[in-house]
Structure 1
Amino acid sequence: MAVQAAAPAVLAQSNPAKPTREAPTKPPSEKPADPARVDLAFGAYQRGLYLVAFNEATKRIEADGSDAAAMTLLGELYNQGLGVRQDPVEAARWYRLAAERGDPHAMASLGLMSADGRGVKKDPAAARAWFEKAAGLGEATAAYNLALLLLAGGAEADIAAAARLLRVAAEAELGDAQHDLGVLYARGKGVPKNPEEAAKLYIRAAKNGSIAGEVELAIALFNGEGIAKNEAQAARLFRRAAIRGNAIAQNRLARIYATGRGVPRNLIEAAAWHLLASGQGLPDSWLDGVLKDMPEQDRKRAEQLATERAAVL
């Protein structure tokens, strides 16, 4: 997501540690009817023993045809291709069976698949309906995804509703939701303008792995907006996000190297990061002007650094 945008362009995978389209790092939470039962299926999933998880979940469903949590786990295994051949259609089938039995994580996953047209027919209305059902049951990533749909509409009432949903997801420690809610507080959209609250949310987002949150925090620190101004700390955060491939961070890092704010002035570093950001579609005419008279030897060194970094980003 662009730092200046009010909402990221992608929906969040149901119940991941970090809301992205990538495979989740932990399974959907489960509340078995019999707490005394040893949870072999989910324990195996957490240890990366996916075939064991598949077999144990299958046994559970054979023993109890209403075991929604085990159905959701099978859906996740088929969805991600973990221990079994990846099969979005089969994943959607298991998610639907679980959703019909009230599992909010399965509902959230069906919403995402409906939005993408993956395993099921692409159907934005169905996606929204599934997100609404799951969010109504307190599913955090469904609340986040529903907020993104509302933000895309842009109506004032929708933005206010999105802010409430983002709060639910933020309290569940979804880093991207914390970032997005922080942006709303910074701009006074859907919530009262509050730079201090925005900065607090950026801090939490960064701790929860949101690169966008880390970049916003760096910007707030650099400008002293809602938090004590600290250009050196901002530079460290920009560099960390830049190394992780964030084009905005690369651009901002190039600018502070060019001006010597927060770091010693270094035009070679400025040019190297500028090349990386430009290569990702983020040009900067101001930097072009600052760097146009660099000695040829320095320019070649910057190009070499950019090439080396691009190979590992």
Structure 2
Amino acid sequence: MRLRSRLLITAPVILSCLAGGQEGVQPALAQGTERAVTRPVPSGADPLRKVPADGADATKDKGAADATGAPDGASSNASDDPYPSSGVTLYQRMGSDLPAVPPEKAYHGPIDEAYGAYQRGRYMTALDKALPRAEAGDAAAQTLVAEMMTRGLGIVHDAKGAAFWYGEAAKRGDPAAMFQYALLLMEGRNVPRDKAKADDYMRRAAEAGNASAQFNWGQILVADNPGEKGLKLALPFYEKSAEQGVADAQYAVSQLYEGVKDIAPEKKAKAREWLLRAAKAGYDTAQLDAGIWFVNGVGGPRDYEQGFEWLRIAATRGNVVAQNKLAHLYIYALGTRPNPVEAAKWYVLSRRAGLADPVLEDFYLGINEDQQKQAIDAANRFRRG
């Protein structure tokens, strides 16, 4: 049974530990059912070495804010994904049919009628079939009832009832239920807060193969074990979660492969590969890092064009640090042609979000008034879009 799950945020714990700032780090609390797109980027993010140090900080001076036409506290909005899928269109243009879908493998196991009804959106039927089994002690049915109560599908939303059924299924070893119940115990939400019990269920869910639990158990190990010890203990769980497609874990693997000492050379050689998997999955911090890695030659050869593209994607989706770095690339024609208006536009957006940069401010004040006006107009259109 694959139910929607929740993840903890990767970047603050992993990056803090790699930077030697482990003291006092705690795993971030579980997010809602929809994972946030934009992650917080730590201050002093790795500058592009091919351009002057940007000296970015969070302080504002009134003159700089006025120069970009932005009041204090203004911020930009992310736009839509700049790369929609075009595979079908490509085949149509070629005049070729799409490849045949491979035949499904025959399934000879027991049929779960309750979950089948749930998948088809027949929630009342699913509940009618699952509830008697749940009351009889069927862990999978208990997990399904808990999920339906959590989301209000086929039944009135009942967070306390869901917590009860998750707890019952967790006692019987259902991996998805153990993960969800661990989150409830961690937060003290509709159950008494109990870190030791939460950790036990998270570990057991991770060892049972739940991808989200594997990532989160890795987070707990990093937080509870300072330094490289915690990173090395967590790495096997991050790797298993990454293999199952969890972008947060893929990003974590890339950072550990690149940043931890004594990593096997064959693993270190795959750091960029894992980073790109996370970036392609839409993880904006990974997209930012991919751009910086390509420009600086981290984890492989330099490629300014690829670096530019990844920074452009992250910037377009609202990552403030990427917007700042992209402005530098437009100024120094790295991976793109020089474009003072585009450079100024991205500087305006990042400056409005509070990321000061003396180098870019000097550049902005050095272009003519018409270019400044074009840049501000472009930044305003981006925000409205």
User: Separation in 1 of the partners of 2:354 and 2:284?
Assistant: 18
Given the alignment of the two structures, is residue 238 of structure 1 paired with residue 336 of structure 2, yes or no? no
Equivalent positions of 1:1-313 (< 5 A) are 1=11, 5=16, 10=28, 20=35, 35-37=109-111, 39-47=112-120, 49=121, 52-53=122-123, 55-63=125-133, 65-82=136-153, 84-153=155-224, 154-188=226-260, 191-192=263-264, 195-312=268-385
CA 1:43 to 1:247, structure 2 compared with 1: closer, same or farther past 3 Å? farther
How far 1:191 sits from its partner (Å)? 3.5
Letter of the structure 2 residue corresponding to residue 266 of structure 1: N
User: Separation in 1 of the partners of 2:376 and 2:197?
Assistant: 48
User: Separation in 2 of the partners of 1:21 and 1:121?
Assistant: 27
SS in 2 for 1:130: helix
How far 1:13 sits from its partner (Å)? 6.5
How far 1:241 sits from its partner (Å)? 1.8
1:30 aligns with: none
SS in 1 for 2:311: helix
How far 1:222 sits from its partner (Å)? 1.5
SS in 2 for 1:292: helix
CA 1:71 to 1:272, structure 2 compared with 1: closer, same or farther past 3 Å? farther
How far 1:141 sits from its partner (Å)? 1.0
Alignment coverage as a number of residue pairs:
294
**Is the contact between residue 130 and residue 144 of structure 2 (CA under 8 Å) also seen in structure 1?**
no
Tell me the TM-score normalized by structure 2: 0.67
**Is the contact between residue 12 and residue 144 of structure 1 (CA under 8 Å) also seen in structure 2?**
no
How far 1:190 sits from its partner (Å)? 7.5
How far 1:35 sits from its partner (Å)? 2.7
SS in 1 for 2:334: coil
Deviations 1:171-221 (A, max 9, x none): 212111011111111112573576522111112222333222222222221
Structure 1, 143-152 or 111-120: larger mean CA deviation: 111-120
User: Separation in 1 of the partners of 2:352 and 2:15?
Assistant: 19
Letter of the structure 2 residue corresponding to residue 142 of structure 1: A
Between Structure 1 and Structure 2, the one with more helix by share is: 1
Deviations 1:74-96 (A, max 9, x none): 32233344555444323222211
**Is the contact between residue 186 and residue 193 of structure 2 (CA under 8 Å) also seen in structure 1?**
yes
**Is the contact between residue 304 and residue 335 of structure 2 (CA under 8 Å) also seen in structure 1?**
yes
How far 1:257 sits from its partner (Å)? 1.5
Higher Cα Rg, which structure: 2
- In structure 1, list runs of 5 or more residues that go unmatched: 23-33
**Is the contact between residue 274 and residue 287 of structure 1 (CA under 8 Å) also seen in structure 2?**
yes
Tell me how large the CA RMSD over aligned residues is. 3.1
User: Separation in 2 of the partners of 1:72 and 1:21?
Assistant: 25
User: Separation in 1 of the partners of 2:340 and 2:114?
Assistant: 55
- In structure 2, list runs of 5 or more residues that go unmatched: 1-10, 19-25, 38-107
User: Percent identity between the aligned chains?
Assistant: 33
